[in-house]
Amino acid sequence: MHVKARFFAAHRERIGASSLDVELLEAASVGDLVERIAEQYPELRPLLGASRFAVNREYAPPATVLQNGDEVAFVPPVAGGSGS
């Protein structure tokens, strides 16, 4: 099955691309995709624990099963706020 992984901000900077086309086994999950990307781009691994994921523009947990043609966005952790 074919999915498109999209990257923003810190994720994009670390891997040097805004998207990747990835082949996965049928019934693979978001978590399977994340692990595949982390294996290919170990420099991304430190960000993944605090990241969120969206499948076809809707936030989804790592257990979400993917379908052929899905688009998965890797949403990096957001820093900010004031520490008062």
Look at residue 81 in the predicted model and tell me its pLDDT. 43
Look at residue 80 in the predicted model and tell me its pLDDT. 46
Which DSSP state fits 65?
B
Q: Which residues contact 5 (CB under 8 A, 6 or more apart)?
A: 19, 20, 21, 22, 33, 37, 72, 73, 74
What domains are there in the chain, each with its CATH number? 2-72 (3.10.20.30)
Look at residue 78 in the predicted model and tell me its pLDDT. 73
From CA 37, how far away is CA 82, in angstroms rounded? 33
Per-block mean pLDDT, blocks of 10 residues, the chain (84 long): 96 94 97 97 92 97 98 82 44
Q: What global pTM score does this model have?
A: 0.88
Look at residue 77 in the predicted model and tell me its pLDDT. 80
